[in-house]
């Protein structure tokens, strides 16, 4: 558990940037182009010579239908993937932020400054008039409280899923 809270604290700003990037990708989603789809299709060629005895084969028609279906399916799957990834990321960020603001004492503002606003330990020392050692102690105390909140959250999720 300790690793998850610390990982989120370290990667919070990166996660926010990823969320914004995903929002832009979803908003401006165009999918793969026809040219990209054609390049991705692999058509096998027979090794031996072949004599065509009929008129126009329906192979061209099947390829066209297959091409359009594949392109639509790939685009839809990619859009669903982006939306799912975005939803998971948003839920993780929202829970982390709400957990931070549920901490005791001055920890909500302190951890918000540290993680969400990205202040350095020296900046935190100056702002709160405390030593770097006290910054470390506050961080550890916040991590312990966040671990407790995450444990409660995980338990509630498990109970919901199993009910």
CA distance 134 to 151: 26
Q: pTM for the full model? A: 0.78
pLDDT tens for the chain, 163 residues: list them: 558 999 999 999 999 999 999 999 999 999 887 777 776 665 555 555 665 555 556 676 677 677 788 888 999 999 999 999 999 999 999 999 999 999 999 999 999 999 999 999 999 999 999 999 999 999 999 999 999 999 999 999 999 999 8
Per-residue pLDDT tens over the stretch 74-84:
999 999 999 99
**CA-derived radius of gyration, the chain:** 26
Structure tokens at 146: 């966040």
Other CB atoms within 10 Å distance of the CB of residue 22: 17
CA distance 68 to 3: 45
CA distance 75 to 78: 5
Structure tokens at 149: 């909140």
Are the beta carbons of 26 and 82 closer than 8 angstroms?
Answer: yes
């Amino acid at each position: 558990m300790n690793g998850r809270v610390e990982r989120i604290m370290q990667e919070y700003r990166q996660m926010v940037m990823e969320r914004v990037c995903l929002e832009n990708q979803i908003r401006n989603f165009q999918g793969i182009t026809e040219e990209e789809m054609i390049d991705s299709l692999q058509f096998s060629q027979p090794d031996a010579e072949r004599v065509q005895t009929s008129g126009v084969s329906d192979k061209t028609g099947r390829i066209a239908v297959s091409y359009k279906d594949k392109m639509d399916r790939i685009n839809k799957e990619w859009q669903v993937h982006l939306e799912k990834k975005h939803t998971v990321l948003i839920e993780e960020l929202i829970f982390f932020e709400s957990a931070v603001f549920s901490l005791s004492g001055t920890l909500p503002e302190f951890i918000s400054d540290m993680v969400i606003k990205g202040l350095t330990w020296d900046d935190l020392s100056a702002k709160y008039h405390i030593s770097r050692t006290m910054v470390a102690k506050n961080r550890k105390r916040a991590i312990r409280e966040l671990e407790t909140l995450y444990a409660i959250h995980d338990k509630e999720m498990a109970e919901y899923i199993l009910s």
